[in-house]
């Protein structure tokens, strides 16, 4: 099929939206390692997990055999307010780059939270409501997850308590106000409102916080307050499951035009958008039906895949959460405050970690100045102001397209444009003023936090 027959935007009808999420784990021969109880070093049981998480989400977390899980009508109806999201052919970017590559991006920024996170937020809030809970607690870094969860909770009438990484709380006051507008309470983390927050503040006075700290605080509050559970916006299997809606839609759209991607690229913080985008494609790869190059892109300042260790580790700094076997920089790793672009989590989804370990996907890391250079180019040519996180994927998509220019190969590249950057203007300002620099942790720094990994025999 010739290029021109593919429209700039491939939209699906509501009826073409997926009716089930796809659970990638069902097709994995080597399943991701189970979450482990930090005290007993035994796999977490449903009962133990149920003290922290909603019951039905625990079932989804533990289910690594059911390939398709039906999306409840209530969630599907909510999805219809902002989905299906478009798959865009980046004709203008191709033209600018003078590349024979065909570039597509799946745009998830078309909702107030400004990112893909709403796909899982509404699902998690729905199951909390169904269980009759009063509310949920969570952490947020850059603020997209907190905003998405606030929106979902407002819609369903649930209370929402958000622990926001202090540096973001201070840098992004408008993000905080959006959450409050949706009825959430927002506390800068680490805070004096929890035992673990007090402990972290005593040990690291003046810390700007980390996702790991904020998770510890949110879990503590959920466990101590009857009628509350903790919800997490990335990393967990259940989140990747909900995000499979991204990949399923993308695949349906591509199939409509008989397009088969060669390279699929996504940014990786905890792995949820990437896990969701690649899900049906990786499924085909695992079943031996097709082959794709799949590339995870992470910041050079927080390089879990490319420089981390595949081991059991805590997901939080306070070491109260279950252990997950993942590529990790160590739960005590705190990315440099200089780092502007999100994707600050020290670990990675257990599912993606296992797939990477088994050679089903690649990973690469990029420095933030080159990320913002790609963001600026993309904004000027494709019109959308991208989130810095998403711009990691843009960077590598552009680099792959430029390689095609050299070799003359007409590869088809699909990348995830996870969100918009309206709340990241402090970072854009730094870039525009020429004040952004790159920070790459030394081997010694990484070794020091990896040395503190829990000892498991
Ligand atoms: C949260 C976020 C990410 C990274 O999280 P993943 O779980 O790795 O997908 C990427 N882009 C945007 C816009 C985000 O909000």
Domain boundaries, the chain: 3-19+83-114+244-450, 21-69+117-230
CA torsion sign for 135, 273, 339, 319 is: positive
DSSP state of 402: H
State the distance from the centre of ligand 1 to the C-alpha of 416, rounded, in angstroms.
Answer: 10
- Asked whether 121 and 145 are in contact (CB, 8 A), the reply is yes
* pLDDT number for residue 13: 96
Task: Give per-residue pLDDT as tens, 249-287.
Answer: 999 999 999 999 999 999 999 999 999 999 999 999 999
What is the structure's pLDDT at 1?
Answer: 46
Which tens digit of pLDDT belongs to each residue from 157-193?
A: 999 999 999 988 998 899 999 999 999 999 999 999 9
Cα 337 to ligand 1 centre (Å): 18
Cα torsion 206, 159, 388, 420: sign: negative
Q: Which residue has the higher pLDDT, 345 or 163?
A: 163
Q: CA 393 to CA 416: how far, in whole Å?
A: 7
Which tokens sit at 298? 């992470």
∠ Cα 158 160 163 (to 5°): 170
As a whole number of angstroms, the distance between CA 123 and CA 136 comes to 13
CATH number of 21-69+117-230: 3.40.50.1100
pLDDT of residue 402: 98
Q: Give the distance (Å) from ligand 1 centre to CA of residue 273.
A: 6
Give nearest CA residue, ligand 1 atom 14: 115
Question: Strands, E, within 270-338: which ranges?
Answer: 293-299, 309-314, 323-328
Give yes or no for residue 270 CB within 6 A of ligand 1.
Answer: yes
Give the pLDDT of residue 171: 84
3-state helix, strand, coil in the chain (%, to 5): 45, 15, 40
Bridge partners for 22 per DSSP: 68
3-state secondary structure of 325: strand
**99 pLDDT exceeds 90?**
yes
Mean of all residue pLDDT scores within the chain: 95
pLDDT in tens, 109-143: 999 999 999 999 999 999 999 999 999 999 998 89
Q: Which residue, judged by its Cα, is nearest atom 5 of ligand 1?
A: 269
234 lines ligand 1 (CB under 6 A): yes
Indicate which atom in ligand 1 lies nearest the CA of residue 243.
9
Q: Residue written as tokens 């007090």?
A: 198
What's the rounded mean pLDDT across residues 28-50? 96
3-state secondary structure of 350: helix
Answer for the pair 46, 59: CB distance below 8 angstroms, yes or no. yes
Residue range 421-453, pLDDT digits in tens? 999 999 999 999 999 999 999 999 999 999 999
User: Residue 101 has what pLDDT?
Assistant: 98
CATH 3.40.50.10950 describes domain 3-19+83-114+244-450:
no
**Nearest Cα to Cα of residue 404 among 93, 119, 77, 69:** 93
420 lines ligand 1 (CB under 6 A): no
- Is the CB of residue 344 less than 8 Å from the CB of residue 209? no
Quick one: pLDDT band at residue 340, thresholds 50, 70, 90?
confident
Please give the C-alpha separations between residue 149 and each of 124, 136, 141, 155, in angstroms, as whole numbers: 9, 9, 13, 10
Tell me if domain 3-19+83-114+244-450 and domain 21-69+117-230 are identical in fold.
yes
Q: Could you give phi then psi for residue 135, rounded to 5 degrees?
A: -170, 180
Ligand 1 centroid–CA 422 distance in Å is 15
Q: How far apart are CA 142 and CA 344, in angstroms?
A: 9
Q: Atom of ligand 1 at shortest distance to CA of 141?
A: 1
387 lines ligand 1 (CB under 6 A): yes
The H or E element containing residue 118 is: helix 118-130
- pLDDT winner (highest mean) among 165-169, 216-220, 291-295: 291-295
Alpha helices in 358-454 (DSSP H): 368-382, 388-407, 425-432, 443-450
- The answer to whether the beta carbons of residues 214 and 139 sit under 8 Å apart is yes
CA distance 125 to 152: 6
Report CA-CA distances (Å) from 206 to 190, 203, 325: 10, 10, 31
Does residue 4 have a pLDDT over 70? no
Q: Regarding predicted confidence, which is higher, 457 or 97?
A: 97
């Amino acid at each position: 099929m010739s290029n021109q027959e593919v429209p700039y935007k491939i939209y699906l009808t509501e009826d073409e939206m997926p009716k089930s999420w796809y659970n990638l784990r069902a097709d994995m021969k080597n399943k991701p390692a189970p979450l482990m109880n930090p005290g007993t070093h035994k796999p977490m049981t449903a009962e133990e997990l149920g003290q922290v998480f909603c019951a039905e989400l625990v079932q989804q977390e533990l289910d690594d055999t059911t390939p398709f899980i039906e999306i409840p009508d209530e969630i599907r109806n909510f999805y219809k307010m902002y989905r299906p999201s478009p798959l865009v052919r980046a004709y203008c970017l191709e033209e600018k780059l003078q590349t024979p590559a065909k570039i597509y991006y799946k745009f998830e920024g078309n909702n107030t939270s400004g990112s893909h996170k709403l796909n899982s937020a509404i699902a998690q809030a729905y199951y909390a409501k169904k269980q009759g809970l009063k509310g949920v607690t969570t952490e947020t870094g850059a603020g997209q997850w907190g905003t998405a969860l606030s929106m979902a909770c407002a819609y369903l009438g649930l209370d929402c308590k958000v622990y926001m990484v202090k540096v973001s709380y201070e840098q992004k006051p408008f993000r905080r106000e959006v959450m409050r507008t949706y009825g959430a309470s927002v506390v800068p983390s680490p805070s004096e409102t929890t035992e673990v927050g007090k402990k972290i503040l005593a040990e690291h006075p003046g810390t700007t916080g980390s996702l790991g700290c904020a998770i510890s605080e949110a879990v503590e509050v959920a466990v101590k307050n009857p009628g509350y559970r903790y919800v997490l916006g990335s990393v967990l299997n259940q989140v990747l499951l909900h995000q499979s809606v991204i990949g399923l839609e993308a695949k349906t759209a591509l199939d409509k035009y008989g397009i088969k991607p060669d390279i699929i690229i996504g940014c990786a913080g905890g792995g949820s958008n990437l896990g969701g985008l690649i899900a049906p494609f990786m499924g085909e790869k695992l079943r031996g039906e097709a082959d794709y190059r799949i590339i995870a892109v992470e910041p050079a300042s927080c390089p879990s895949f490319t420089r981390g260790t595949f081991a059991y580790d805590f997901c939080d700094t306070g070491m109260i959460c279950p252990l997950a076997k993942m590529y990790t920089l160590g739960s005590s790793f705190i990315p440099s405050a200089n780092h502007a672009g999100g994707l600050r989590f020290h670990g990675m989804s257990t599912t993606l970690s296992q797939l990477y370990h088994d050679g089903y996907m690649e990973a690469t890391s990029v420095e933030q100045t080159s990320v913002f250079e790609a963001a600026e180019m993309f904004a000027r040519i494709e019109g959308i102001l991208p989130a810095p996180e998403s711009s990691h994927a843009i960077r590598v998509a552009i680099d792959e397209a430029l390689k095609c220019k050299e070799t003359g190969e007409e590869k088809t590249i699909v990348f995830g444009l996870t969100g918009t950057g309206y709340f990241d203007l402090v970072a854009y300002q730094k870039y525009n003023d020429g004040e952004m620099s790159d920070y790459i942790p030394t081997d010694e720094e990484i070794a020091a936090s990896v040395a503190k990994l829990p000892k498991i025999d």
